[in-house]
Chains A and B, each alone.
Chain A
Amino acid sequence: MNLKLKIWRQKNAAQKGKFETYSLQEVSPEMSFLQMLDYLNDQLIAKGDEPVHFDHDCREGICGSCGLYINGRPHGPLRNTTTCELHMREFKEGSTIVIEPWRSKSFPVIKDLVVDRTAFDKIIQAGGFVNTNTGVAQDANTTPINKIVSDRAFDAAVCVGCGACVAACKNSSAMLFVAAKVSQMAMLPQGKVEAADRVEKMVHEMDEQGFGFCSNTYGCEFDCPKGISVEFIAQMNREFFSARVCKQNHS
């Protein structure tokens, strides 16, 4: 198939970027989206041009490195699919594909389609863990956990940290990302102990990093490649308010 690509090119964080248009011939529908970009890059290199930079690594939908804004949607047209899992059979012959980086103040562009997502690491550092040291654990089966609860914690824990939720949200909110970790930990007995403290710290850091407030449009859930539910945002809000109320009662 033959395609027209409009790709965001930006030399570095300091310079202004712009769209460049490329024609690409003989794209196989069996190619993955990133293979299609590899194919474009081969041609650019052959012509002596600089290839398009984009983050990618595992290419099987689990590392969360890749994330392109394709035709106005994070990770492109398919639901529950990362960019690397998307295949060209989803596009029509002769179509124009617009490819951009994530757009968010908290994810500054580094080069072309690569953005800086360290804000997410900072949020996890603020409290996305259980305060336990190596060596203190008791036997893993000492504390039974209801299977439904444990499965639900898993559903939250599948977040790959790609940032699609932020890119999908008109407020650039990171609520789904934060809620997934807060909820996973709050549901499990191991994480429950510090649930109140954790949610306050993580939400505070989320604000510090400049992410906006929830837009209530559910765009994050719709475009999350792991299908994480906005119900976890509701859960996080409950955790947050109950933490606040408990604190007031104590003081």
Chain B
Amino acid sequence: MTKLDSKIPKGPLADKWSNYKSSLRLVNPANKKKLDVIVVGSGLAGASAASSLGELGYNVKVFCFQDSPRRAHSVAAQGGINAAKNYKNDGDSVYRLFHDMIKGGDFRAREANVYRAAEVSNLVIDHFTAMGVPFARDYGGGLDTRSFGGVQVSRTFYAKGQTGQQCLLGTYSSLSRQVAKGTVTMYSRRDMLDVVIVEGKARGIIVRNLLTGEIEKYSAHAVVLATGGYGTVFYLSTLALGSNSSAAWAAHKKGALFANPSFIQIHPTSIPVLNDYQSKLTLMSESLRNDGRVWVPAQKDEKRHPNEIPEEERDYYLERRYPAFGNLVPRDVASRAAKERCDAGYGVGDTGLSVYLDFKDAINKHGKKVIEDKYGNLFEMYEKITGINPYNEPMRIYPAGHYTMGGLWVDYNLMTTIPGLFAIGESNFSDHGANRLGASSLMQCSGDGYFILPYTLSDYLADEIKTPRFSTDSEEFQQSEKQVEERIQKIMAVNGTQTVTSFHKRLGKILWDHCGMVRNAEGLKKGIEKLDALEEEFWKEVKVPGSADEFNQELEKALRVADFFEVGRLMCYDALDRDESCGAHFRDEYQTGQGEAKRNDAEYAHVSAWGYQGHKQEPQLHKEPLVFENVELKERSYK
């Protein structure tokens, strides 16, 4: 086991980042122009990093698989973005935000990283406002906030239910500005398929041009991955259909450790599965739990229309179980509570796999107009999908795969275990522990990209000023290119009878059943066996029509699904190794008398970082101990 050096600076928690920042080396403006940086992904993390690096004068190349950087899935974040502004005078502070995140993550995140994320959160809100992001305001003209799960202050800034869209478009604007200035070159409709390592450092990437099928090589002095999470591993998830793990996985295969892969957030409020052809699940923002009350009928097999069930025959189970936080418990807790009720036979809808989210009381109290102002677009979205008007009857919701706390292991500089390869935003593992609190992902992505990476990357590049631009003709680039081409040929050559999607669905079902909201050792072992068998079948039976040297959407999917088998396996290994329950990782062997997650701090207060040992080889575990000097480890209680 290698000793992982997280490079956390010494000194008091509150001073770490500011002191460290002042000690980081800089690159002078004349040299910046000579340095190339590749950024993969154009979401909030990638675009904010790219635009900031462009402003500094680096020569940046940005890659995304969509037709435009404006479409990255950050665009779909709904509810809001946290900051410790304390504009509400309700006792918020950087420390409080830090503490909420550490506790919300069930004490499985690094103190120093989380504190820094909280610290830069205020700068992020200032910057977005300066860029013309139209956050919601109150009548005095100041910024409005609302509450989110797992906290008792109101610190979530929002733009109706489209906060992610507004933040991303702001960032897209600043990226576009740099494109116009020539500091950033945009390469859209490209899938990154490999990272190229030269003399131990990340020096470039191999991409497939999705329109022509051409394999292209790009070199740089450093590579930044901002490629998001791997929640689409479940097939049905709240993610965009194109979201995938292939870039991060390619990095993992080349030596980057992958941390806490089994920490996956199952979001409690998604529109439930409605039919067999469902291709995705649509989220209903957590912010709805500010005003919506979650309930199931008190009687099993209740057949009455929800509006006909009287108050006393309803079980507001979150309010019952968690009186202190009620409907605003964190996501992992809310999801498991919904599953518990449905498994016990109280679920509603045709499948019995959903619960009600009811706005009746809020509408009676505040009037329809107020509710419409806050959540109008979400209510419309719900009605379009289900055909049911949620102003008149409760929404039906159920948990769905959403966000991956796990990701590439990074040190305090956001650098992976491959020198020169950085990972930011959801693609890294660093800030959310075993469970992410709502509205902190936009916060982390933009914090990483705007206010952290530009400093730490400059420090890395200070050593590279004498390295000339290098050609992509080197042995290493050619080797990588060859491997990528061979894999594509292999997948095209299978020429079986089953569609890529049919495999993805089955893969997702295996993981949902065996490595979903509740896990156990036996189920996880079975999951790995099933994944192995399905993967074997995939490589014998998958059908990819058309050819590889043209625009071929089935081939894009096939390459992504091929990686998901391996990602899924690693998730199961990680979940199996962690003999405790924490946050979203709930092993039914380890629970308290009341059915809450039972941690084992003596043995598992560490980050599990896995090394790739070859296809189907058992991965190698490296542990980074988590040291808590500023918070007391307690049972996470929301009661």
Q: Which residues of A contact B85 (CB under 8 A)?
A: 140-141
Partner of A62, one of B165, B179, B545: B165
Asked whether B134 lies within 8 Å of A132 as measured between CB atoms, the reply is no
The verdict on B541 contacting chain A, using a C-beta distance below 8 Å, is no
Q: Which residues of A contact B466 (CB under 8 A)?
A: none
Within 8 A of B (CB), among A20-34: 28, 30-32, 34
Q: Which residues of B contact A128 (CB under 8 A)?
A: 173, 176
Which of the 9-residue segments A154-162, A167-175, A229-237, A239-247 touches chain B?
A: A154-162
Within 8 A of A (CB), among B384-403: 384-385, 387
A138 and chain B: residue at smallest CB distance: B126
User: Interface of chain A, helix or strand or loop or mixed?
Assistant: loop
The verdict on B159 contacting chain A, using a C-beta distance below 8 Å, is yes
Asked whether A140 lies within 8 Å of B129 as measured between CB atoms, the reply is yes
Q: Give 20 CB contacts A-B under 8 Å.
A: A32-B279, A48-B545, A49-B545, A55-B67, A59-B241, A63-B72, A85-B384, A86-B384, A89-B387, A110-B211, A117-B68, A126-B180, A129-B173, A131-B177, A140-B126, A147-B141, A150-B135, A150-B136, A184-B132, A185-B132
Q: Which residues of B contact A157 (CB under 8 A)?
A: 134, 159, 166, 169
The verdict on B364 contacting chain A, using a C-beta distance below 8 Å, is no
A116 and chain B: residue at smallest CB distance: B67
The verdict on A38 contacting chain B, using a C-beta distance below 8 Å, is yes
* A128 to B72 alpha-carbon distance, docked (Å): 18
Q: Which residues of A contact B274 (CB under 8 A)?
A: 30
Which of the 9-residue segments A39-47, A92-100, A216-224 touches chain B?
A: A39-47
The verdict on B87 contacting chain A, using a C-beta distance below 8 Å, is yes
Partner of A64, one of B71, B278, B454: B71
| Whole-angstrom distance between the Cβ of B452 and the nearest chain A Cβ | 11
* A184 to B133 alpha-carbon distance, docked (Å): 9
Which B residues have a C-beta under 8 Å from some C-beta of A? 48, 51-52, 55, 66-73, 75-76, 85, 87, 123, 125-132, 134-143, 159-160, 162, 164-166, 169, 172-174, 176-177, 179-180, 186, 188, 211, 240-242, 274-280, 282-283, 380-381, 384-385, 387, 450-451, 454, 497, 499, 501-502, 543, 545-546, 550-551, 553-554
Q: A134-B454, A147-B137, A153-B134 are in contact. Are A31 and B277 (CB under 8 A)?
A: yes
Partner of A118, one of B67, B139, B276: B67
Q: Which residues of B contact A120 (CB under 8 A)?
A: 68
* A52 to B323 alpha-carbon distance, docked (Å): 52
* A115 to B34 alpha-carbon distance, docked (Å): 36
Asked whether B499 lies within 8 Å of A45 as measured between CB atoms, the reply is yes
The verdict on A87 contacting chain B, using a C-beta distance below 8 Å, is yes
| Whole-angstrom distance between the Cβ of B590 and the nearest chain A Cβ | 35
Asked whether B159 lies within 8 Å of A28 as measured between CB atoms, the reply is no
Within 8 A of B (CB), among A120-146: 120-121, 124-126, 128-141, 143-146
